[in-house]
Structure 1
Amino acid sequence: MTTATGPAPGPESSRDEGRDPLGGLTLSRVLGALRLGTRLGPEPRGGRGRATADPALPDDALPDDALLDDACARALRAGHSPVTVVLLREAWDGLGPEERLRVAAPLADDAPTWRGQPAIQVDGTTCGAAVGAMLAAAGDPVVALALETGTVLAGVVDPRLGPLVAAAAQGFDALQRYLHAATTRRVVLGLLPWPRRLGTPPWGLAREARCADVRFRHVVVDVADRTRTSELAARIDVCLRAGTPLPLFTGGASRSGWSTALPRHVVLLTGVESAAAWTGVAPGADGGTGPGAPGASWRVYEPSRGRVLTVDARTWAVPERRDAWGRWSRPHWIVLPR
């Protein structure tokens, strides 16, 4: 799937959708019509605790002990040994207040940084890798510590975690390159590599995505199916409130050229901005709205800018250019918990 860092070509907007009921063809529309890749699967499992830090932790200025305890619990869930967690506690003592927040809650900042540099994708093909890197850091404080300080803690025994932490210690750019290689390896029929110049395919990111002990799968988003997008919105909202960020692939439609009818960019839904639960019906291509929680919005990490922006949860599936979508107009694919 080709990725992009800048505005999408062509005059796509919700007004154009009104003139063209089909809104142009997209790969996700075709797959949705065929009912391929659209099954939502089981509801998210509860009772395991949050996969990422509670966004209220930094805002409520809880004691460092609370941040540290939360970080250590997530490190254990991510698969680290008790020895590594003890070393994480020891490393915590040498961190400053801002470093501690970045290690414990990297998605809490509206402009996330690592080692003082903005968390921006390396190039136009690594938006998916940048999203995967932020997802891993949010769910695994050992990865976040490596990203922030270059420290590789001893005792990492999981064969998948070792290379991930080692790459993170080389910096955010290096972690992106590592994940870009991992997410494009053996993803065509389970044997052949995906061309890296085409970015990250949804199934490759879903296979490699890690957030604490949560594993993922990919689901097609057809914005023409209003019932489906409403169900998806409710599922997304539950996941975000439970502390599980979700990668989302965005793009355009055939009206702007067939190359835009594919997933072109990847962003990360990171949390919920308002306290009110989303209860409405996601608007369809006609722009009609149903009842919902006024002001409810989702936070979105957009890797080409390195910023966390917001999207109205009630209108997330309305085709319209959005800064939070990387200036693309619609969701195409989403990565959900298994």
Structure 2
Amino acid sequence: MTDWPRQPDNRTCGPSSVVVAEGLPGPWPDFEADVQAMHRRLTGLRDRHGRWQLPWPRMLGTPPWAVARELGGRVRRYRRSDVLAALPTPVPVFLGTRWLPRHVVLVLDERDGEPLVYNPALGAVVLMSSSRWQHRWWAVLPR
């Protein structure tokens, strides 16, 4: 069984999800350092290929377009059918309130049509419906 890492702080759910997606099936020996480096890359002036990008304040979390660029995906409005069709490729999903996206989880599988997600805040794989954030905003689907 995989030991799932917890995000190192309350602003790194996005980079934590990306580090896990890129490192599946684990282990993640230097998870905190990898997440902090990923956060700088996702919100910094240059992407992993050295291309210029608009800087993004890290305190606002991770922009979905940066996650898509890192994983080679595309940002789409959340639709459960699209997310489940993309499996077994891990799919980052942005959750939040009606007004704002606040959290990123990583869909890894499904159980009876319900997405099973790596939730970096818990450091566990759980049903998506168990998240306190119930509004689904975006999914980063593979190309």
Place the TM-score, normalised by the shorter chain, in its bin.
0.7 to 0.9
Where in structure 1 are there 5+ consecutive unaligned residues? 1-108, 149-170, 210-214, 222-231, 254-260, 274-294, 312-321
Say yes or no: does 1:239 pair with 2:86: yes
| Contact 1:182 1:208 (8 Å CA) reproduced | no
Aligned to 1:20: none
Work out which of the residue numbers 23, 29, 44 in structure 2 matches 1:137: 23
- Seen in structure 2, the aligned counterparts of structure 1 residues 195 and 299 have a Cα distance that, compared at 3 Å, is same
Q: CA deviation at 1:272?
A: 2.1
Aligned to 2:70: 208
Work out which of the residue numbers 270, 294, 301 in structure 1 matches 2:108: 270
Where do 4+ consecutive residues of structure 1 move more than 6 Å?
A: none
Residues paired across the two proteins, number: 138
How large is the RMSD of aligned CA atoms in angstroms?
1.9
What secondary structure sits across from 1:134 in the alignment?
helix
Structure having the larger proportion of residues in strand: 2
Aligned to 1:218: 75
Aligned to 2:49: none
Aligned to 1:251: 96
Query: Which letter maps to 1:251?
Result: G
Larger Rg, first or second structure (1 or 2): 1
What secondary structure sits across from 2:56 in the alignment?
coil
Q: CA deviation at 1:124?
A: 0.8
1:159-238 alignment, distance < 5 Å: 171-186=30-45, 191-209=53-71, 215-221=72-78, 232-238=79-85
- The two structures have a TM-score, normalised by structure 2, of 0.86
Deviations along 1:200-248, whole A, 9 cap, x unmatched? 0100111112xxxxx2111133xxxxxxxxxx322222211xx201000
Deviations along 1:18-47, whole A, 9 cap, x unmatched? xxxxxxxxxxxxxxxxxxxxxxxxxxxxxx
